[in-house]
Amino acid sequence: MARKSPGINTGSMADISFLLLTFFLLTSSINTEQGIPRRLPPPSDDKPKDLEIRTRNVFNVIVNFNDEIIANDEIIPLNQLTNRAKEFLENPLNASNLPEKDTKLIENMGEYPVSKGVLSLKNDQSTSYNMYVQVQNELQRAVNELRDKVSVQYFGRIYDKLDTALQKSIQKAVPMNISEAPPNTYGKTD
> pLDDT tens, position by position, for the chain (190 residues)?
667 777 777 778 888 888 999 988 888 877 666 666 655 555 655 555 555 667 888 899 999 989 999 999 899 999 999 999 999 999 888 888 889 998 999 999 999 999 999 999 998 888 898 999 899 999 999 999 999 999 999 999 999 999 999 999 999 999 988 888 776 544 444 3
* H helical segments located in the chain: 13-27, 81-90, 129-155, 164-173
pTM of the predicted protein model: 0.70
| Cβ-proximal residues to 10 (8 Å cutoff; 6+ apart), any chain | none
Residue 104 backbone class (left: φ over 0; alpha: ψ -120 to 50; beta: rest):
beta
Count of C-beta atoms within a 10 Å radius of residue 163: 9
